[in-house]
Amino acid sequence: MISASHNPMPDNGIKFFAKGGGKLDDALEAAIEARLNEPWDRPIGREVGRVIFDESASERYIYHLLSTLKVNLSGIKVVVDCANGAASEVAPEVYARAGAEVIAISNQPNGLNINENCGSTHLANLISEVKKNGADLGIAHDGDADRALAIDASGKVIDGDFILAILAKEWRVPTVVGTVMTNLGFIKAMSEAGISFEKTPVGDRYVLENMLANGHKLGGEQSGHIIMRDLANTGDGLLTALQLMSVMASSKKSLANLAEVMERFPQTLINIEDVDKSKLATSKALAIAISEYESKLGTSGRILVRASGTEPLVRVMVEAESQILAEEIAQKLAALVRLELA
């Protein structure tokens, strides 16, 4: 697969998948990269190989998605932001066939405009369209459509934690898998509902590894990667959106009402560019500062400082009982990151 996930076109790379559609483990990916960096013959002409276009693939995919639904989505009005990417044709089609009234935006890909001021990392236009059209919800996909975020009728963002909580409660799963970025409010809500929570590093591959190793059925990330193992082996944004709308249809509840399943802890996330990520693990000053702030927060907050796995930056995330406190600590740590990792 050629993809840059939620990033712009120049960041595109080639992604390999294992048999069954799962992602490769780190060791195998590293071996492929090492092999490609070695000298090797670049065949030309008839030796290059063939590209096979499967005209029936989209229809088979749509059929599979619709087969997972137990209710019709009639009465639901949805605005879908296709990120000018892979979902541009299929998402509006499948939501409409499922019975929803669909308004599609950012569904005119030209090979260059993927994720450009649209999609799951640029929600302003979708929020505006949801309000303007009086829609029940909005769905934002990223370029390769493996994630989905939602917008309720009032324009509030319903991220992957909320979607995961809604599905976990609806399906009554015994355990749900998240990551170190999962909001404390989600963890608290699951505990109160009698649902166990297991934590992995950031990345849907690690969520899936845990699910496969332990037999869990539901997991995901705040970013909108949701894995439902009874329905698919990987995150699928269209499948996620359909299941979310299915809960709305069967419960006859609004998205805002369903999202009351959890209360989000105030969170501040700062992305810091132009720093040396490799210095992060060896900065004693940063480690001391993080430890001191963690002691200050106690059990009412947490701190995560990590290097991004997909972008050239360091992320500082702070959760606290108040937005002011989270912002204050995050800004101080961000300043220290810039100083220490310069």
Other CB atoms within 10 A of residue 338 CB: 14
Which positions are annotated as active-site residues? 5
* CB 205 within 8 Å of CB 130: no
CA nearest to 214, candidates 202, 196, 232: 196
* CB 319 within 8 Å of CB 309: no
Beta bridge partners of 61: none
- Where are the extended beta strands (E) located within the chain? 2-3, 13-14, 77-81, 101-105, 137-141, 148-152, 157-158, 175-179, 196-200, 218-220, 226-228, 267-273, 302-307, 313-319
Cβ burial, residue 248 (10 Å; 0-12/13-18/19+): buried
- Phi, psi torsion values for 80, nearest 5 degrees: -115, 125
- What is the C-alpha to C-alpha distance for residues 222 and 257, in angstroms, rounded to an integer? 19
- What is the C-alpha to C-alpha distance for residues 291 and 251, in angstroms, rounded to an integer? 44
* DSSP structural state of residue 264: P
- Phi, psi torsion values for 185, nearest 5 degrees: -60, -35
